[in-house]
Amino acid sequence: MRTLLKNGTVVSESDCVKADVLIEDGIIKEVSSSIDAPDAELNDVGGKLLLPGAIDAHTHMDLDVGFTRACDDFYSGTVAAACGGTTTIIDHMAFAPKGAYPWHQVKEYHSLSDGNAVIDYSFHGVLQEKADQRTFSEIREIAENEGITSFKLYLTYDMMLHDKDVFAVLNEAKRSNILITVHCENDGIINYLRDRCGVENNLTAAFHPKSRPAEAEAEAVNRMLYMAECADEAPLYIVHLSSEAGLKEVLAARKRGQKHFGVETCPQYLVLDDSLYDDPREGLKAIMSPPLRKDSDRTALWDALKNDVLDTVATDHCPFTFENQKQRGKDDFRLCPNGAPGVEERLPLLFSEGYVKGRITLPQCVKYLCVNPAKIFGLYPKKGVIKPGSDADIVIIDPEKKRTIRSASLHGNADYSCYEGMEIKGVIDTVFLRGEVIVKDNDFLGKKGNGRYLKRGISSLCL
Ligand code: URP
Ligand code: ZN
């Protein structure tokens, strides 16, 4: 089966080139200025942009938070991802029951995703509570057998690792070429402030960001970077950086010459701010950790993307319904499930708010959404690039078309979008997954279970 995409503009991390693209049996066969393939199905994409299928390295499909679950499972969540131009996700596992070891969640996550996902997928393993010799032997085995070459740990929440174990994990990661991904917030600061909110009866959504200040992020980013440096530069990936204060710590580490780390931010920290918490009811929609920050933080993060200081833009998609699940926090924000939807809005937002508004270039969009996540998470060049031999995961964008974000026309199970009413320039026309059209004009055309599990290689941050 051959498909010829003719007269489009192919975007890579370095340039935008007018080219034809020939797809054969799900793989990109040729990219060149003029291809003649009379037997191929012809698709004239003149005036349109061809981007590699985007990779979202931070989702939480079907996340079990104990009292409820994220409202998107691996089917609805990946349908939404596909409609937003994402053809691969790397999902962050929930914590396992207390006392469990890493294999537990690997098995659990195969049972949640296999046969359900509509795009290609992988997982980050999860480390919780402690790290001992059994933990280390399991992560080596999982990396070898499952191609799960990144593991997440938290510096806050009940199942967090404490510094001695974090340091042990980093040393083991360095030895075994495992990438450690980390949620950076100082647990002591947060718990003290949350308790104080309780005592002082400050329980509306507006107190959520006050109880998780930017300094709590900055301290944890700084600590984690130094610990990685001290572990002979263990490879490290900081998830969802949200603040200018955190960014300063990243810049300081780069200035010191530390190289083996990557930093992710998310559209919510680039596009939204903490004024969303002013309305006690509506504010519940944006209860996520870390919280939304100030306008100055947004500007700093956009500048960091412009100056290539950050590495990826992922979503932290972790949706709960507003009318039902989020209302748990209506009288006490501390009871609200943390997280928000966003997997479908990411690429259109970065394109429109980033490229169209002149904050970043189009090749930078491709770098943050496609190339860097593929390299950092051991998927390159199978994923993340339009070149011969790569999977034919392609997003066709009409750069002139406009659309308003409406929750009603998104595909996930959440009943709201944090970006409701925002006007986007640049609309997704078609999405190909391994040569098959899975989205056309906002209609999902793919099939449940057609997503393939991806065994990943070593991170570029280990090299
Ligand atoms: O609020 C968020 N981000 N929820 C998902 C779980 C986590 O903290 O990453
Ligand atoms: Zn997350």
pLDDT of residue 265: 99
Q: Are 304 and 230 in contact (CB under 8 A)?
A: no
Say which residues have a Cβ less than 8 Å from residue 454's Cβ, sequence separation at least 6: 88, 120, 121, 122, 147, 379, 382, 383
Residues in CB range of 368: below 8 A, 6 or more apart:
305, 310, 311, 312, 313, 350, 360
The rounded mean pLDDT for the chain is: 98
Cα 322 to middle of ligand 1, angstroms: 16
- Ligand 1, atom 5, lies closest to the CA of 339
**What is the per-residue pLDDT across 69-95, written as a single tens digit (0 to 9) for each?**
999 999 999 999 999 999 999 999 999
What are the start-end ranges of the H helices in 114-162? Answer: 133-146
Closest by alpha carbon to 452, among 87, 107, 121, 93? Answer: 121
| H helices, E strands: number in the chain | 13, 17
β-pair partners for 384: none
Q: What is the pLDDT of residue 119?
A: 99
Find, among 229, 267, 225, the residue nearest to 248 by Cα: 225
pLDDT of the residue at 154: 98
pLDDT tens digits, 159-214: 999 999 999 999 999 999 999 999 999 999 999 999 999 999 999 999 999 999 99
Sorted by where each begins, the domain ranges of the chain are 53-384
The preferred substitution site among 208, 237, 241, 288 for testing ligand 1, maximizing ligand atoms within 8 Å of CB, is 288
**How close is the Cα of 240 to the center of ligand 2, in Å?**
7
**What tokens were used for 50?**
């061809």
How far apart are the CA of 287 and the centre of ligand 1, in A? 9
Quote the CA–CA distance of 9 and 401 in Å, as a whole number. 16
What is residue 100's predicted lDDT score, i.e. its pLDDT?
98
Which ligand has the shortest distance to the CA of 212? 1
Residue 255: per-residue pLDDT: 98
Ligand nearest to the CA of 288: 1
Token code pair at residue 373: 């996540």
Kindly list the protein residues whose Cβ atom lies closer than 6 A to any atom of ligand 1: 60, 183, 288-289, 316, 318, 338-339
For 190, 283, 337, the CA distances from 212, given in Å and listed in that order, are 5, 15, 15
Which is it for the CA torsion 56, 58, 64, 70, positive or negative?
negative
Tens digits of residue pLDDT in 204-250: 999 999 999 999 999 999 999 999 999 999 999 999 999 999 999 99
Q: Which two tokens stand for residue 387?
A: 């070149």
Indicate the pLDDT class of residue 309, thresholds 50, 70 and 90: very high
**Nearest ligand to the CA atom of 242:** 1
Mean pLDDT of 291-315: 98
| pLDDT at site 46 | 98
Read off the tokens for 166. Answer: 């974090």
Q: What secondary structure does DSSP assign to 62-126, as a single string?
A: T-B-SS-B-S--TTHHHHHHHHTTEEEEEEEPPPPSTT--HHHHHHHHHHHHTTT-SSEEEEEEE
**pLDDT confidence of residue 236:** 98
Q: pLDDT band at residue 312, thresholds of 50, 70 and 90? A: very high
Is residue 398 exposed (0-12), middle (13-18) or buried (19+ Cβ within 10 Å)? middle
Closest approach atom of ligand 1 to CA 287: 1
458: pLDDT confidence band, cut at 50, 70 and 90? very high
User: Locate tokens 């349908």: which residue?
Assistant: 79
What is the reported pLDDT for 104? Answer: 98
Residue at 18: amino acid letter: K
Q: How does pLDDT run across 370-381, given as a tens digit for each residue? A: 999 999 999 999
CB 330 within 8 A of CB 67: no
- What confidence tens digit (pLDDT) does each residue in 124-171 have? 999 999 999 999 999 999 999 999 999 999 999 999 999 999 999 999
CA distances in angstroms from 140 to 76, 145, 151, 361, listed in the order given: 32, 9, 11, 39
CATH assignment of 53-384? 3.20.20.140
**456 half-sphere exposure, CB direction, 13 A CA radius:** 32
Q: Ligand 1, closest atom to CA 92?
A: 9
* DSSP 8-state secondary structure symbol assigned to residue 333: G
When pLDDT is averaged across residues 325-335 and rounded to a whole number, the result is 98
